[in-house]
Structure 1
Amino acid sequence: MPDQTKQHRFLRIRHVLEKVGLSRAQIYKLMGLSEFPKQINLGGRSVAWLEQDIDLWMAERHHASRQPKADALRKKWEEGLRKISLATPASQAVRLT
């Protein structure tokens, strides 16, 4: 049976730092860039992160690190299509669907 409590567990900053291996400054910088889960205000000056959000972020980072070649090829292909569509007059454009 999966651990249901893990989904709703709050992590304070020290636990987030340990879990993801980043510095406090890096975490807040990534949050400012909307590249890291936002903290949740617990009241007063207390904040925490949902463990589920941190786990999902880590899984996404892991997946992204395994896909750089596929992403680079897709980007290059999309740029090539964009160049073709810019170079081709609208009357001669071929619709790709």
Structure 2
Amino acid sequence: MQNALLKLPQVATITGRSRSKIYADIKAKTFPSPVRLGNRSVAWVDHEINSWVQAKIAGKKDDELKALVASLVAARATSVSI
């Protein structure tokens, strides 16, 4: 599986959320956290954002979003192949 990285403007466009709402949702653990690219640069994994959007379309509640986000972030560690 090949992943793309999305910068904040792309994530905001895809989700329809503002920067402040994205970061508030990350703090609430209802939105995937970004991956660090450097000291001052982050990006989001495209399939995680797409999964989140599909969950919102399906009407998932905050507790279900938290479970989804936790599973997506946990899968990062196991999906790396070197």
* TM-score under structure 2 length normalisation: 0.69
Structure 2 unaligned residues grouped into runs of 5+: 62-82
Aligned to 1:64, the other structure's residue is in SS state coil
Q: CA deviation at 1:10?
A: 0.2
Structure 1 counterpart of 2:16:
21
Question: Which ranges of 4 or more aligned residues in structure 1 deviate by more than 3 Å?
Answer: none
Counterpart check, 1:59 vs 2:49: no
Tell which structure's C-alpha radius of gyration is larger: 1
Q: Percent identity?
A: 30
1:33-48 aligned at under 5 Å gives the runs: 33-48=28-43
Structure 1 unaligned residues grouped into runs of 5+: 68-97
The total of aligned residue pairs comes to 61
Q: CA deviation at 1:34?
A: 0.2
One-letter code of the match for 1:23?
A: S
More relative contact order, 1 or 2 (CA 8 Å, 6+ apart): 2
Q: Give the Cα–Cα distance (whole angstroms) in 2 for the partners of residues 13 and 26 of structure 1.
A: 12
Q: CA deviation at 1:27?
A: 0.3
Q: CA deviation at 1:64?
A: 1.6
Q: Give the Cα–Cα distance (whole angstroms) in 1 for the partners of residues 25 and 39 of structure 2.
A: 23
* TM-score under structure 1 length normalisation: 0.59
One-letter code of the match for 2:46?
A: E
Is the helix fraction higher in 1 or 2?
A: 1
CA shift digits 1:52-95 (9 cap, x unpaired): 00000000111126x9xxxxxxxxxxxxxxxxxxxxxxxxxxxx
